[in-house]
């Protein structure tokens, strides 16, 4: 039960990508206008890596509740 509650909170991290994607598209479009696609793609790669790390860190927060979930199930 507690893990389900934690997951319902951490699943919001999936939606973090929408504004980031919008920013990426805008920056890539602007970079294309100035012939800087390659440089921007490298920079965007760093953003994607940071985004993945952030999402993973948020999902790892569920682990904090894992032991409690086990203890609760033992009492049931």
pLDDT: is 34 or 72 the higher one? 34
pLDDT at 74: 74
pLDDT beyond 70 at 8: yes
pLDDT at 66: 87
Task: Please give the C-alpha separations between residue 10 and each of 14, 23, 35, 44, in angstroms, as whole numbers.
Answer: 8, 23, 39, 24
pLDDT beyond 70 at 76: no
Cβ burial of 9 (10 Å; 0-12, 13-18, 19+) is exposed
pTM, full prediction? 0.75
Weakest-pLDDT range from 5-9, 42-46, 67-71: 67-71
């Amino acid at each position: 039960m507690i893990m389900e509650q934690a997951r319902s909170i951490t699943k919001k991290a999936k939606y973090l990508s929408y504004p980031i994607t919008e920013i990426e598209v805008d920056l890539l479009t602007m970079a294309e206008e100035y012939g800087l696609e390659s440089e921007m793609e490298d920079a965007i790669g760093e953003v994607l890596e940071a985004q993945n790390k952030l999402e993973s860190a948020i999902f790892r927060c569920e682990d904090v509740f894992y032991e409690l979930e086990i203890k609760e199930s033992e009492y049931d």
